[in-house]
């Protein structure tokens, strides 16, 4: 794993709250997703990583973070299979959504592609896929990743 240091571009003051233009927000998280990267916010004070990033550390209340790139490999922690879906997902029924354990104790929820319910096993290796979800236009605009079985090398 490698670490990306993001230079703060500029700061502006709104009242007494100082806001950097490189914010540790969900929006910035999705910007990175659109570039095919899973980025977490690592607290510079206590070292706790947050995914999705948040502007305030829930462990030490620090607001100092740096971006770190997270490996796209993880293990399936839990899943559920959907048979009755919201309208925009009805064409995909049945499909499964799971929570995947990534490095640094991080967990990420998402849809699992191309695996039926009886192919899923708790603890199996899944990877984050940035490509196969892009062509389903009816998805909400912000959904930019899903999980799949890693390709054999």
Query: What is the number of other CB atoms lying within 10 angstroms of the CB of residue 70?
Result: 21
Interacting positions 22-51 with Zn ion (CB under 5 A): 43, 45-46, 48
C-beta of 70: minimal distance to Zn ion in Å?
17
User: H or E segment at 108?
Assistant: strand 107-112
Residue carrying the six token digits 């997270």: 70
C-beta of 71: minimal distance to Zn ion in Å?
22
C-beta of 39: minimal distance to Zn ion in Å?
17
Under 8 Å CB-to-CB from 59, ≥6 apart: which residues?
A: 43, 46, 48
Q: Give phi and psi for 119, each to the nearest 5.
A: -95, -10
If binding is defined by CB under 5 A, does position 68 make contact with Zn ion? no
C-beta of 16: minimal distance to Zn ion in Å?
21
If binding is defined by CB under 5 A, does position 64 make contact with Zn ion? no
If binding is defined by CB under 5 A, does position 62 make contact with Zn ion? yes
Query: What is the number of other CB atoms lying within 10 angstroms of the CB of residue 143?
Result: 15
If binding is defined by CB under 5 A, does position 122 make contact with Zn ion? no
If binding is defined by CB under 5 A, does position 57 make contact with Zn ion? yes
Instruction: Give the three-class secondary structure for 30.
Output: helix
For Zn ion, the binding residues (CB under 5 A) are 43, 45-46, 48, 57, 59-60, 62
């Amino acid at each position: 794993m490698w670490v990306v240091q993001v230079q703060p571009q500029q700061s502006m003051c709104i009242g007494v709250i100082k806001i950097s233009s490189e914010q540790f927000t969900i929006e910035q998280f999705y910007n990175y997703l659109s570039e095919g990267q899973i980025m977490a916010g690592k607290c510079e004070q206590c070292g706790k990583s947050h995914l999705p990033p948040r502007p305030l550390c829930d462990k030490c209340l620090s607001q100092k973070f740096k971006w770190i790139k997270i490996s796209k490999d993880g293990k399936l922690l839990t899943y559920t299979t959907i048979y009755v879906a919201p309208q925009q997902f009805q064409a995909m029924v049945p499909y499964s959504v799971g929570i995947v354990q990534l490095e640094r104790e991080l967990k990420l929820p998402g849809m699992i592609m191309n695996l039926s319910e009886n192919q899923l096993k708790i603890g199996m290796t899944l990877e984050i896929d940035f490509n196969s979800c892009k062509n389903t236009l009816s998805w909400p605009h912000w959904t930019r990743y899903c999980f799949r079985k890693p390709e054999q090398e």
